[in-house]
Amino acid sequence: MSTSTKRYHIADFANIEGVPCPCGTARRAFRDVEEFPGTIHVTEISENARKHYHKLLTETYYILECGPDAAMELDDEVISVHAGVSVVIPPGVRHRALGRMKVLIVVLPEFDPADEWFD
């Protein structure tokens, strides 16, 4: 008899509980998946996103949905965004979302809540 081990991983974000984050509520997947060095988040951004930065993490935001006045604040520069826009945020870049939006965030390396810093 042979034993098969699945070599893939599936995340159903509808079944992942949201956790509070500086931006709103994040649903995080693939933590501790050996073959993937990061995590994938679907985050509902609230109006009150808090400016923060990371010392180690690089985040790539892909805007899934947002209002017409949505923007990203990146190192004190405000950039208008719309669905379909992607932004790479390297370590040290102070950032926050302005306006409500839903984003897919790829975090490399794996997300660590201890790497959220505020001025």
Q: Tell me the two tokens of residue 43.
A: 């985050």
Q: Where are the domains of the chain?
A: 19-114
pLDDT score of 3: 56
Convert the pLDDT of each residue in 84-110 to its tens digit.
Answer: 999 999 999 999 999 999 999 999 999
Q: Which residue has the tokens 């992607």?
A: 86
Predicted TM-score (pTM) of the model is 0.92
- Measured from the Cβ of residue 100, the count of other Cβ atoms closer than 10 Å reads 16
Class of domain 19-114: mainly beta
pLDDT band for 4, please (50, 70, 90 cuts). low
HSE value, Cβ hemisphere, 13 Å, CA-based, for 83: 6
